[in-house]
Amino acid sequence: MRTSIATVSLSGSLTEKLTAAARAGFDGVEIFENDLLTSPLAPEEIRARCADLGLTVDLYQPMRDIEAVPAEEFARNLRRARHKFEVMDRLGAETVLVCSSVSPLAADDDALAAGQLSELADLAQDFGIRVAYEALAWGRHVSTYDHAWRIVEAAGHPALGTCLDSFHILSRSSGPKDLEGIGAIPGEKIFFLQLADAPLLGMDVLQWSRHHRCFPGQGGFDVAGLVKHVLRTGYDGPLSLEVFNDVFRQAEAGPTAVDARRSLLILQEETGIRALPAPAAPTGVAFAELLTPDAEPVTALLSGLGFARTARHRGKPVELWEQGAARVLVNTGPAALSPSRLRSRAGTPVDGTVLTAIGLESPDPAAAARRAEALLAPVLPRRRGAEDAPLDAVAAPDGTELFLCATNRPELPDWRADFADVPHAPAASGAVRIDHVALTQPWHHFDEAVLFHRGVLGLGAQESVDVADPYGLLRSRAVANADGSVRFPLTVGAAPGDDTAHARHIALAVGDVVAAARRFTGAGGRLLPIPANYYDDLAARFEFAEGELEIYRDLGILYDRDAHGVFRHCYTHTVGRVFFELVQRDGGYQGYGAANAPVRLAAQRAAR
């Protein structure tokens, strides 16, 4: 099925938008009128540009406040429409979107609306144009898709059909029953299908629509369910994204277009009209990789935490540090000196010690890479020597390299084969593994990151939470696999400039956080100091065993409870842009201590 995107969904000039849409692999575009008006290109030039880029002009939009008005007003509207049809003719657009009227002049008169739309369709037909009539959720008299269809049906004009828009339908829907009326519309009378998702916000629907739409799979609507209804009618026009979003308006058009097309690919898979390589959700974190121009501070930290240097890469300046099932690669290669691999979208290069890559234990690395590639994830050059094990890797939207790999599975190439063991004392504890890796995200691409991890890697997304940093609200949402052995809390700063303000971190699951914290401080490590006031609050909120709270207070251990269990955690100091967390999850605690995040963030700010 063809895919299309409305130019209003992307940032920049019309030329930039068209280029981005074509590069991301869309088949066509909807031309949003203002993008045409502000373009120095004549309609014929836009048509030629689209043709050069392999894009069709699937829709011209919108035409407003046309129908159910007094005759004199309608004459003016027809005059206006004729001008627009001339432009469409030059543009090569064969379908026009007509939104249900919001004009105070419009009458609540379906027969009048049908008659005037029919006249409009007569005129359109002269230009070889079809009129797609759509109910705006806030239309003055026509605000539901079935009402719009009744008018179209009554008009009975071959050049008049309806346009369905998932936002307008689902923002007013109270349940799946509301969609059943779609089945009553013959597919050939659905002239266009516009798709958008949105977070479930209780707000004025017009503002919600204009500022907060997002791509399918990024919000709370069942867009796939709606598309299934539409497909059953026999609709065979494009699946077209129309997203008004304040963030996308500012973001680079190229990545947004990729994000958009990925969302449509996933939607097509969900609705059974496109087969993609099946997801092979990761079963664990094989390693996290730190890139550093100076290994000493970070290896000192690893040693203090009980890691031992167990192996060295055969061909590159990369060391493997291990403790139990937790593995950290320390890379001092040339990339560390010009770390263009991880770049904030704000354009600031990230320097110092940074977390640049994650090894994901994959049940089928090659299949996982095929899925990632099908979903537009850049496949990374392997940059390996002749003897290195083959290693599939893709780039996440934030630039993090995700290696899809196998550890100690004889049937598959092992990434560890690239490493030669070095003599070492045994690590301090065998019970440690990576609990989660917290990945700060560039400001403009938070929803994209969540969809990527969900769609490409097959992780599940947890609830989104706001976290108060002293200098602004952060937004955080974790993605995780089913058994919780892979967890990535994704966090975005309060403002575009803030995306590199917060370091990433590796949380190590330990059986006894108090013992681990003591071992660390005993080895000379510094834990993040937590204000005493925090412990006074804990004392007010929870009852502790005699002496328990004093232990936490002395060490700087934070404490949280949920319906399932208890979470105790503490933080090391920060090296470059990386720090570590020690966590003890008991009784099936599911979260990440979000309630404690403001305390941690303020303490980190104070420690700078």
Q: Which residues are annotated as a binding site for Mg(2+)?
A: 436, 505, 581
Number of residues that bind a second copy (CB under 8 A): 56
Burial 582-596 (b: 16+ CB within 10 A, else e): bbbbeeebbbbbebb
Q: Which of 22, 96, 298, 603 binds a second copy (CB under 8 A)?
A: 603
Question: Which amino acid belongs to residue 312?
Answer: R
Spatial separation of the C-alpha atoms in residues 512 and 555, rounded to whole Å: 13
Crossing angle between the packed helical segments 110-126 and 145-155, to the nearest 10 degrees: 60
Alpha helix (H) ranges present in 316-475? 365-374, 446-455
79 contributes a contact to a second copy by CB under 8 A: yes
CA distance 515 to 531: 21
Residues 6+ apart with CB under 8 A from 512: 584
Stretch that binds a second copy, among 157-165, 360-368, 568-576, 594-602 (CB under 8 A): 594-602
Quick one: which of 1, 23, 25, 33 contacts a second copy (CB under 8 A)?
33
Residue of the chain from 201, 308, 367, 461 that contacts a second copy (CB under 8 A): 201
* 470 interacts with a second copy by CB under 8 A: yes
Q: Which residues contact 548 (CB under 8 A, 6 or more apart)?
A: none
Interacting span for a second copy (CB under 8 A) from 163-171, 312-320, 422-430, 465-473? 465-473
Q: Whose Cβ is closer to a second copy: residue 275's or residue 540's?
A: 540
Least gap, CB of 568 to a second copy (angstroms): 17
Buried b or exposed e, range 388-425, using 16+ CB within 10 angstroms: bbebbbbbbbbbbbbbbbbbeeeebbbbbebbeeeeee
Residue pair 98/67 in contact (Cβ under 8 Å)? The answer is yes
Closer to a second copy by Cβ: residue 40 or 522? 40
Of 357 and 530, the one with the shorter C-beta distance to a second copy is 530
The full length of the chain comes to: 608
Residue with Cβ nearer a second copy (38 or 174): 38
User: Given strand 433-441, what is the order of strands in its sheet?
Assistant: 460-469, 472-480, 487-492, 433-441, 504-509, 578-586, 566-571, 558-561
Nearest to 20 by CA among 241, 254, 260: 254
Segment interacting with a second copy, rule: CB under 8 A, options 168-176, 222-230, 401-409, 597-605: 597-605
Tokens linked to 491: 């966090």
Indicate the residue among 422 and 539 with the shorter CB distance to a second copy: 539
Asked if 496 touches a second copy (CB under 8 A), the answer is yes
Structure token digits, residue 183? 């089945």
Single out the residue of 174, 340, 408, 533 in contact with a second copy (rule: CB under 8 A). Answer: 533
Rg (CA), the chain: 28
Task: Point out which span in 141-149, 299-307, 493-501, 517-525 binds a second copy (CB under 8 A).
Answer: 493-501
Selected range binding a second copy among 54-62, 197-205, 445-453, 585-593, rule: CB under 8 A: 197-205
Does residue 598 belong to the site contacting a second copy (CB under 8 A)? Answer: yes
Give the DSSP H/E element, type plus range, for residue 35.
helix 33-37
346 binds a second copy (CB under 8 A): yes
SS3 label, residue 106: coil
The pattern of x and - marking residues 234 through 253 that bind a second copy according to CB under 8 A reads ------------x--xx---
CB of 456 to a second copy, least distance (A): 28
3-state SS, residue 190: strand
Write out the E strands in 21-90. 28-32, 56-63
| Pick 346 or 551: Cβ nearer a second copy | 346
**348 contributes a contact to a second copy by CB under 8 A:** no
Residue of the chain from 273, 417, 422, 473 that contacts a second copy (CB under 8 A): 473
442 binds a second copy (CB under 8 A): no
Alpha-carbon distance of 27 to 19, in angstroms, equals 12
In the complex, the smallest distance separating the C-beta of residue 304 from a second copy, rounded to whole angstroms, is 24
- Residue 126 binds a second copy, judged by CB under 8 A: no
Residue with tokens 């880029």: 53
Choosing from 175, 202, 381, 524, the residue that interacts with a second copy (CB under 8 A) is 202
Per-residue tokens: 487: 């967890």
Q: List the one residue from 390, 529, 587, 588 that touches a second copy (CB under 8 A).
A: 529
Q: Of the two residues 564 and 605, which places its CB atom closer to a second copy in the complex?
A: 605
Q: Which parts of this chain interact with a second copy (CB under 8 A)?
A: 11-13, 33-34, 36-43, 79-80, 83-84, 86-87, 201-204, 207, 211, 246, 249-250, 346, 468, 470-473, 494-498, 529, 531-534, 536-537, 539-541, 598-599, 601-603, 605-606
